[in-house]
A and B are shown apart, each in its own frame.
Chain A
């Protein structure tokens, strides 16, 4: 039997800004523009898992378990959080959508398994998303 892909959506709201401490204010403004100002987004995260369908349950994965995992590891951590103060970004890594989706991958992949986690799609707003398929 072929592989089936299942996707579940999650939402969280978080604040961030783009800023490098070792750069002057002028250089930050030149590279990042308005993104140097603290602002926030209603993020939408799509988590896609893949695998064979369990012949007994008819499921790729119990989506309740997926909801609990993503809720505990991602939503609880980032919802109404200042991303710049999160451990992933405290060392100066910029909380761009790219870096945030990679951080979420690092949180979920060990629990879901690289084989089962297929794709993360993170919407910063309804006009912009980043997709990541893992390292």
Chain B
């Protein structure tokens, strides 16, 4: 039987800049362009969980549990912070959408009911989004 996949959208706002410690100032400016400057985004994060439906409750995963886990494990850590400076767990991480999606996965996976996380998508702007489905995952 194929499972149900539940996707919930969350928002946070944060500052960041793209800068790699492995590059010189000139190279950072060349590689990352305007993203090298300190700026920020209204990020959206989509969290997808999967599973079969409990016949009594009709629910696959209790959204209240998901909401509380995402709030505690992710949103409380990043909302209105500078991702490139003050966020524990992002030290040394170039805060591209790709790296954020992968990092957020490692924060959310242990906070959610075991084995239920299927996908983390970081929507940086309306024009850019980045999806990660785990080491063995395939997108959607």
A→B interface (CB under 8 Å): 18, 20, 31-33, 93-99, 101-102, 126-135
Dominant SS among interface residues on chain A: mixed
Q: Which residue of A lies closest to B6 (CB)?
A: A130
With a CB–CB cut-off of 8 A, which chain A residues contact B64? 33
B→A interface (CB under 8 Å): 1-2, 4-10, 53, 55-60, 63-64
Minimum-distance CB pairs A-B, first 7: A94-B58, A96-B58, A131-B5, A127-B9, A133-B2, A99-B58, A98-B53
Cα(A93)–Cα(B58), bound, Å: 7
Cα(A32)–Cα(B7), bound, Å: 19
7 residue pairs of the A-B complex, CB under 8 angstroms, read A94-B58, A98-B6, A98-B59, A99-B53, A102-B53, A127-B8, A129-B6
CB within 8 A of A31: which of B8, B57, B60?
A: B57
Is B58 within 8 A of A129, CB to CB?
A: no
CB within 8 A of A134: which of B2, B8, B10?
A: B2
Given contacts A96-B58, A96-B59, A98-B58, contact A128 B6 (CB under 8 A): yes
CB within 8 A of B2: which of A20, A126, A135?
A: A135
Is B5 within 8 A of A130, CB to CB?
A: yes
With a CB–CB cut-off of 8 A, which chain A residues contact B63? 128
Q: Smallest CB–CB gap between A118 and chain B, Å?
A: 11
With a CB–CB cut-off of 8 A, which chain A residues contact B6? 97-98, 128-131
Q: Smallest CB–CB gap between A86 and chain B, Å?
A: 13
Q: Smallest CB–CB gap between A87 and chain B, Å?
A: 16
Q: Which residue of B lies closest to A119 (CB)?
A: B140
Cα(A135)–Cα(B56), bound, Å: 18
Cα(A18)–Cα(B56), bound, Å: 11
Q: Which residue of A lies closest to B1 (CB)?
A: A135
With a CB–CB cut-off of 8 A, which chain A residues contact B1? 135
Q: Which of B55, B59, B64 has its CB near the most chain A CB atoms (within 10 A)?
A: B59
